[in-house]
Structure 1
Amino acid sequence: MSVFELTGRRALVTGGARGLGAGMAQALAAAGASVMIADILEDVGEQTAKTISATGATAGFVRLDVTSEPDWEAAVAHTVGELGGLDIVVNNAGIEVTQLIVDADPDDVRRMLEVNVLGTTLGIKHGLRAMRPGGAAGNGGTIINIASVAATIAFPGISGYSATKSAVDRLTRVAAMESGKLGYGVRVNCVYPGLVPTDMGMKLAVETAGLGLFAGPEEAVAAVVELTPSGRLGEVADMADAVVFLASDASRFVNGVGLPVDGGMGM
């Protein structure tokens, strides 16, 4: 059996309706896991779950606002009930608002903090509670938080987003230490994705150009590629495969780290 095999494991992926989250959910299912997609986009999320189910994998959908504690409690309970347990939590849901620091809107910054930092905190909290001994699942597991290359570089126009993704890195490391010290049996790691041309990624290119930081979206993308030793943008599959690695026994002694999947951009 491959060390990347996930058959028999149960995963919850936040922000799994589309983009990177959907790709991660599909990759986990392809590796053998049963997957619960959690998102506020109900129609899109349900369709993504149907698409995965059509491959023969087990997949479902649950509505989840990651900033809501009651939503988390209900989503975890639903996942454990429907899938028969919980072994993998992927905290992928996040938002990005492009703005210059001199024009920072407190409401926009506050919203990024709520979704990216509070949402991830609650995901770690309820993932640990469910997977630790005595929890609803109780067999240990792994939590994978999605940070960003923005946590490791100084790219203009994304100060608030960069700050929140840096916080995701710190949350990851403290959670891994607490889990180890308390014998929870849950590894906690994070991934730093590079820029991927999803809707969110291309929105960033358009908006940074709109702020006058680049001549146009194409120049913004070119600037990212220029900073990347691999000479290209990332692909959804690049990020999804990294999540499968961190969810699998291939990473069994990898804990409390941030894995750059950015083509070398953040080195």
Structure 2
Amino acid sequence: METRIDYSKIALLTTVANFDLYEKTRPYQPAGIRKLVIDGRGGMYGLESLFYTFEKLPLNDVKWLVLADEDVLFLENRALVKIIEEMESANYTVAGVRDGGTMPNRRHNPYVPNTFFCVLDYQNISTIYSRKEIQKQQYSNPNEFTEDLKNLNVEFDVTSLYEPYYCFFLWLKRKNQRFLFLNAELLHPDTDELATKVYALDNKPLLIHTWYARAYGKNAAQTKRIDSIIDTYAPDSNDHSKEAEVYKDEFFKYKLGLRKLKKRIQNKLGKLF
């Protein structure tokens, strides 16, 4: 029996550090679903963005939460729903692209996805969510996970803790939640070692991740590269919805500054004693 997905239960969240780039990619985000933005210009991203999402955003009616960075260009609208349908029918909690073993520019941990694009069963995760538990999961144990990695064609490191947000996904894996990993490859392997093409379940292109969003508008070469990708591959506009809901932790940059100061003081005291 075909799984029917309620579009009102899907939300797409973008943590935006570069609003100039976001304005160019937003019209191609999948139509018919709620759009949210976390203002990341004060340094909020990664794990901190995940904590803010689960603790502060008004998502009580959301079942499926799609994370997509501002440098993601969606190519196909229906394919995202097909992924969610597969997650629903096969009881997957997370879908995304491995941060090791799939993308040539990311040779880190293959057991967790990179958050540039990720689909979460938000409703399920919310029922077990615990910041304290998550913060204790940034570690690796030899042979902890039994997943078969033999078919991966890019180098990886199963012990990597490269990204602070790994603990969120390692926590989910240790809670026996299922992950659906998507295929990806370089968009232009001979000329661009960054831009990544992600495939849908039918092996047709789903999206392009340009990378280097923070360099857009600041670095001429990266800006030109990203603009060229958008100009070449952007489909007809997908999004006909109202403006995205924007959320910002006004005090985060101050909290981040205090954390950095505390760490510097601790480091200096450690050297003295």
| TM score, norm. by length of structure 1 | 0.32
Higher helix share: 1
Higher strand share: 2
Instruction: Point out which structure has higher relative CO (alpha carbons under 8 A, 6+ apart).
Output: 2
Greater radius of gyration (CA): 2
